[in-house]
Homo-oligomer: A and B are copies of this chain.
Amino acid sequence: MRATVLVRPKPGILDPQGEAVLGSLQQLGFAVDDARVGRVVDLELDEGDREQTRAELERMCEQLLANPLIESYEIELVEDA
């Protein structure tokens, strides 16, 4: 089973990487009003119960993948074809 976890800086939290990207894009002439940069983590997991796997992924996010104080996360489960 594959999972994709998106980790983003929460609204209002300073995002220096996003500011740098925004500045560079504008300098290159692109019409961009805002940019925020986060992480995407693709995971390969053992096949298992969908709900259990989602709970496990939430624990991974809380413990390691995200900093829940300043980052939000979004979990997408992809069944293998």
Contacts and interface: CB of A to CB of B under 8 A. Distances in A.
Interface of A: 6-8, 18, 21, 24-25, 28, 30-46, 56, 59-60, 63-65
Copies of this protein in the complex: 2
A56 B38 CA distance: 21
A34 B4 CA distance: 12
Contacts of A63: 28
Contacts of A28: 60, 63-64
Lowest 6 CB-CB distances: which A-B pairs, in order? A34-B44, A33-B44, A38-B40, A36-B42, A40-B40, A31-B46
A39 to B, nearest CB: 6
Question: Which of A18, A37, A38 has the most chain B CB atoms closer than 10 A to its own CB?
Answer: A37
